[in-house]
Amino acid sequence: MTLSPLEVENLLLELAELGSWYKDIDIDGYGDASTEVIGIKPDNTYVADNTDCNDADININPGMAETTNLIDDDCDGVVDNGFKYAFVSNTIGHGAYPAWGSLAGANAVCQTEADAGTVPSGTYAAWLSDDTSSPATSFTQSAVPYVNTNGDQIAPDWAGLIDGTLDNPIKWTADGTDMTATGLWVMTNTTIAGLPRGSANCNNYNTSNTGSVDSGTLESVNANWTANPATFGGSCSPVGGWRLYCFQQSETAPVPVPEAVIGYTGDFAAANWALSGVASYNMSETALTASVGSGGGGVVASTTITADGTISFDWNMSVYSAGDYGDTIKYVINGTAYDLSTAGSASGVETGIAVSAGDIFEFQTWGTTSSSSYSATFNNFSFAAN
């Protein structure tokens, strides 16, 4: 058959569009990986890119610039990277809870509040100096802007943070509360350069009864934000108490969860199972099958689990001639058997079977006597890693 020039042109166009295509619901040029279609491009709402992490929002895709909105705008797995957050603590040191115990204790307060707040995940530390350490020596000195939890810029970078003038005061907590009206001072013992002001640090923050401390004021945008002369030599146990400034040091990307294994593929491909038995058996990507025409017997399929997770599968046992003592279909974990059926034809669905890395997982069927005749199937297998 000879094709016309137009038919040749159309065929070439179709061949050019063979491949993997992904639905682009928000029409931003980036598709959703879960909507893959293999073959000819279905229509113009499909694209070759599959890296959109929110295909319902045109403003979220790998081509967007990150902003201070507590959203992963650019789909790189990190919220608001390109910024470092700072906040003032909710926790107050005074009275029965007079001190942070140490600089490490103050850092722990910051970390706890960050983990419980709305700020991006990461490592947080207190803007606080003791006899051996200070922000200038212990902080990650950021080359990107420091911002409040409401999104306002505090300073363009480390140099801007220590130049004596902030763009906006550090007065918001990790959960987004404005602390302007509280009027409390912030324990720092730190100069505008991020260095210790001296030994006014409540004996390295382990006492409320002796010594003194220098502080800053949370509504200030001049050098007073960290070192306000009106606070110098203050009591280590004031009536109102002290707060802390907390600064993000690093950002933490969420640990990616592996995609679920569908069918006998990947770590669960047939090559990774040991199959044996007195039966006719076969494992493909879609099913493990076993059949016994007569004489009893069955199959054992065994594999070693490579990661913590859950297994799900469908099963079916069709008994044509029952054995004298029943015909069994089961799964086994580390030698412990879980019967699915022990007599007669049956089928079912198993979901969420918990397994751990290193476990030995098996499928088994068995016809108990020479009169057994049956077929069995384990299909729709899936594994979801934790």
Q: What is the dihedral of CA 200, 206, 208, 213, to 10 degrees?
A: 20
Specify the pLDDT at position 17.
Answer: 63
Domain with CATH 3.10.100.10 in the chain: 84-251
Task: Give me 327's structure tokens.
Answer: 């015909």
Q: Spell out the per-residue pLDDT of the chain, length 386, in tens.
A: 676 777 656 655 565 567 788 999 989 999 998 888 888 888 889 999 999 989 889 999 999 888 788 788 888 887 777 899 999 999 887 533 445 778 888 899 999 999 999 898 889 999 999 888 999 999 999 999 999 999 899 999 999 999 999 999 999 999 999 998 776 789 899 999 999 987 777 878 876 656 778 889 988 999 999 999 988 888 777 767 789 999 999 876 555 556 678 899 889 999 999 999 877 899 999 999 988 877 667 899 999 999 999 999 999 998 887 655 567 899 999 999 999 998 778 999 999 999 999 999 999 998 766 667 888 999 999 998 88
Specify the pLDDT at position 266.
Answer: 86
Decide yes or no: CATH 2.60.220 for domain 261-385: no
The residue among 154, 158, 171, 152 whose CA lies nearest residue 69 is: 152
Q: Could you count the other beta carbons within 10 Å of the beta carbon of residue 137?
A: 11
Task: Give me 366's structure tokens.
Answer: 């068995």
Specify the pLDDT at position 367.
Answer: 76
Long-range contacts of 228-237 (CB under 8 A, 24+ apart): 228/185, 231/185, 232/197, 232/200, 233/200, 234/185, 236/98, 236/99, 236/202, 236/203, 236/207, 236/208, 236/209, 236/210, 236/211, 236/212, 237/94, 237/95, 237/98, 237/208, 237/209
Specify the pLDDT at position 95.
Answer: 33
Specify the pLDDT at position 7.
Answer: 66
Task: Give me 123's structure tokens.
Answer: 């490592």
The letter for the amino acid at 76 is D
Region at 118 (left for phi over 0; alpha for psi -120 to 50; beta for the rest): alpha
Domain with CATH 2.60.120 in the chain: 261-385
Kind and range of the H or E element at 188? none
CA distance 145 to 179: 21
CA distance 99 to 236: 8
Laid out side by side, the sheet with 185-187 consists of 215-217, 185-187, 242-243
Q: What would the CATH number be for the domain defined by 84-251?
A: 3.10.100.10
Task: Give me 371's structure tokens.
Answer: 């009169």
The residue among 334, 333, 313, 317 whose CA lies nearest residue 279 is: 317
